[in-house]
Amino acid sequence: MTGETPLVRFENIQKSYDGETLVVKDFNLDVAPGEFVTMLGPSGSGKTTCLMMLAGFEPATQGEIYLKGKVINNVPPYKRGIGMVFQNYALFPHMTVAENLAFPLEVRKIPKAEREERVKKALDMVQLGAFGGRRPMQLSGGQQQRVAVARSLIFDPDLVLMDEPLGALDKNLREQMQYEIKHLHEQLGLTVVYVTHDQTEALTMSNRIAVFEDGIVQQCAAPADLYEKPQNAFVANFIGENNRLMGKVTAISGDKVDILSDNGDVLVATKINVHAVGDRTTVSLRPERVFVNPEASSVDNLFSARVEELIYHGDHIRTRFTVCGHDDFIVKVPNSTANSLLQEGNTVPIGWKMEDCLALDA
């Protein structure tokens, strides 16, 4: 984050619906102008509640929400100047596409000539220039979502909020829309706060991701940092695929941790979230960081592993091994390096480097 004033600031925010149970706990987050920040987490983790408090549809139980340096807790939603995109599109069925887009401008008393110019520009921006006269029900799901995105941008809001906007689309269309929204964000310099439970969506689109669990942000960082340097076991498991080995810390030397796994194997890992010898730890390791038949000198951890299952994925072979007492240890073997030893029932050496193997909380 730079030294500039954040466009959005959540300060010590708490939220309870019943006066007892906190669904959001001491939430703090700054969003810089032009940033794309995603709130990511499982259902019920508090991410949508935070978005609704920012939009003005839910009051904060405690704490302050700032927009452009001013507290907006008591400002009604329609006066916040925020664009919104929902999963269900929320288009008016009795209006044409052009009328749906013009509506936010009419509410703001924008003159007719300027309205028409902005509508045309917005339709072209989402590649729907020829669809202005159609009704929402005459459009596909992807086209309706494009209209919803265009409507959220047409009055040049300071901020656009998106709540699971692609959840109703099929896989291919969802991926296409991810790139379209990402490119609109970059081209227009938008500030976006986005909510999803889809980790791939978050990794694809965001400058930063706040990972929620049980009303608390577990980690907020750039996508690559979340994936490569998770700060706890929840983040490691929620972001991408992950192998877990359980054990006990037997020695700590700088960043190096010696671990005795639960089945008696000894491994070395990088210290992330362990504090003392004797601590229980979860060792986290990404499937693509494991080598099959490595040269012993190239890895810090080397084990014999039994091949349990091979699943062909085109560019790689997803291989399930038994290693260190775990029979669900996954390795993504590039198709180009797979060999005849990789057969179900065979025992092969596998290994990984210390820096790819993270010692996290138990």
Instruction: Map out the domains of the chain as residue ranges.
Output: 8-233, 241-360
Q: Contact 263/225 with Cβ under 8 angstroms?
A: no
Distances (CA, A) of 149 to 29, 93, 191, 277: 24, 16, 13, 53
29 membership: H or E segment, kind and range? strand 22-31
pLDDT of residue 82: 93
Q: What are the pLDDT digits (tens) for 113-128? A: 999 999 998 898 888 8
Instruction: Identify residue 19 by its one-letter amino acid code.
Output: G
Asked whether the predicted pLDDT for residue 340 surpasses 90, the reply is no
361 secondary structure, DSSP code: -
Distances (CA, A) of 207 to 116, 157, 186, 226: 33, 19, 11, 11
* pTM for this entry: 0.88
Q: Token pair of 292, please?
A: 């099959």
Nearest to 1 by CA among 33, 24, 27: 33
Instruction: Identify residue 86 by its one-letter amino acid code.
Output: F
Helix axes 112-125, 141-153, angle to 10 degrees: 130
Q: Token pair of 307, please?
A: 């091949």
32 secondary structure, DSSP code: -
User: Looking at the domain 241-360, which fold is it?
Assistant: OB fold (Dihydrolipoamide Acetyltransferase, E2P) (2.40.50)
Calculate mean pLDDT across residues 258-270: 94
pLDDT of residue 1: 45
pLDDT of residue 4: 77
Kindly state the percentage of the chain with pLDDT values over 70. 99
CATH architecture, range 8-233: 3-Layer(aba) Sandwich (3.40)
CA dist 322 and 292 (Å) reads 13
What's the number of CA atoms in the CB half-sphere (13 Å) around residue 354?
16
94 secondary structure, DSSP code: T
Nearest to 304 by CA among 263, 332, 246: 263
Q: What are the phi and psi torsion angles at 183 (to 5°)?
A: -70, -40
Q: What are the pLDDT digits (tens) for 91-100? A: 899 999 999 9
Asked whether the predicted pLDDT for residue 191 surpasses 90, the reply is yes
Asked whether the predicted pLDDT for residue 55 surpasses 90, the reply is yes
Calculate mean pLDDT across residues 61-84: 93
